[in-house]
Structure formats: structure tokens, C-alpha cells
Structure 1
């Protein structure tokens, strides 16, 4: 069945998550805009689909730490959101992050881009990886991350 939120399908296996909605880039951008912290940072969703997700963030002075590098918390945020949005492109919108790991490789000194893709999908969980790079001509990889997101029933607390 098609509706304004995207295509849905019914999962009939025991313990399934029920209706799964396929999210398009406009709905994903609306979800990002509904996150006050993402709005505060100015994150943009530039690519979205089952093959991967790309987000961008412009660096400004208040996002730096005492040595002039982008704060590690900003890089972790990008990993978290990109992995979860990549999982959402496969599992649907009713998901939450269940884990992330971030490896900081180099100090981030310029505007950033993060690209995430799903490596494995199960019935209710997706595992993804990502690269955080500078948006410079040499696209320096500043951090890599991996993590997972899990589906949840709408309105059900974890």
C-alpha cells in the first residue's frame, strides 16, 4: 500500500515489527529537522537511500575544543546520526540507536561530511559503518564509526 509517508509492507512472521514504512529523503529531512540538537548544529541531509546516507555540517567556532579542533562530541554525534539514518533507510522510521563506536583518526579542522552505509540487516536491527571526512579537496578522514540501530514499536518506550 502506498501512502503519503512512503511505501509500507506487512510483516507476518511471529514477533515481527508490523508495518514497515519506507522513508524518502523529504521525510528523513523532516525527521532531522525535528531534532533540536541537529538544528542547533546545523546538520544537513544531502543523500538518503538504501545504498547510504550523507550528512554535512559547517564548522563554526563554538563547535571547537580548546586546541582549535572540532570537538570529539560533534564527530560522535555525526557518527550516531548517520548510522541511525542509514539504518532507517532500510528498517523504516521507528528506530533508535543501539550502539556506536567511534575511532578518531585525525583532528578535524574543516567543514565535515559523514557517509554511512548498512553492512547487515536483520528483521529488527541494522549494523552500519561510516566515515567522517573534511569537505576539502583532499577529503581527510577524521573519524570512522560503526554501530547499530534497532526497530521499535511506535509509542513503546525502550
Structure 2
């Protein structure tokens, strides 16, 4: 089980998540924050669908990227900020449902690079509908605005 590098890491993760305008716009909220793991929820909205009525892949990818990034952030040191370096998303089934659960987890955490995965589920089901594999980068720059 991973451990945080400083006592306020989980509180800071929630606070930084709440400062993201895109998460508010999409209606994505934090359901759980633990060391190396973040769970987000995304309610279905018709205005976030593609032409077949499924949740748009870009919206689901955005949620998975944030879950993976904030999972990585929980294990970074107090001077670090997180940025996505790269990711690959795979869609296994159409995104249909009323509430989507997105689970981001750290695979390996390093000082600069953290390797993560995210999985998306529809409603209360256990079937994965999408996955994301990502590399997150710890950025230490006193010029970054908090």
C-alpha cells in the first residue's frame, strides 16, 4: 500500500481538484481520495453525448486523465505540481449509464515520473467500459500559480 510523502497530501489533492473549472463544468466530483488512488463520479448529461447518445469519449477521457493525475499527485512531495506527460485511452464498450465511476491508481511513483492507470465503469457495474494508461510528471516550479 503506498503512503503519502507529507501529512496534508490528501487534503491538498481534494483542494486542487476543486479548483479545476473543467471538472465543475462537466459535473465531475471526488468520491474518494487515498494514497495512490482517486475515485471520481460523473453523472450522465445529454449535453455531454456524441451523436449516438453515448457519453462522449473526450469527456470520459478527461475524467480518466484527472483521476490518474490526482492519484499520482497524492504521492508527490509538497513542492510538486502534477502535469500529464502522455496517455493512451481505450474504449471497451459504449459509455451508457446514469452515473460513471472513474478509478485512478498509481502503478509506480517516482520523483519526477509516475505511471498510472484509470478505469471507467457505468452505473454500479463491475464491467470496465474504458481504460487509460498515463505518465504523470511532477513539476517543481516556484512560478506556478496555486
Same fold (TM over 0.5): yes
TM-score range, shorter chain: 0.7 to 0.9
Alpha-carbon contact 2:90-2:130 (below 8 Å) kept: yes
Bigger Cα Rg: 1
- Structure 1's unaligned 5+ residue stretches are 1-5, 9-20
Which residue of 27, 33, 58 corresponds with 2:12?
27
The residue matched to 1:90 in structure 2 has which SS?
coil
Work out whether 1:130 is the aligned partner of 2:137.
no
Q: Residue 62 of structure 2: SS of its match in structure 1?
A: helix
Alpha-carbon distance in structure 1 between the residues aligned to 2:46 and 2:5: 42
TM-score of the pair, normalised by structure 2? 0.85
Call closer, same or farther: CA 1:135–1:82 in 2, change over 3 Å: same
Cα distance in structure 1, aligned partners of 2:30 and 2:86: 21
How far the C-alpha of 1:29 sits from its partner, in A, is: 2.3
Give the CA RMSD over aligned residues.
2.0
Q: What runs of 5+ residues in structure 2 fail to find an aligned partner?
A: none
TM-score calculated relative to the size of structure 1: 0.79
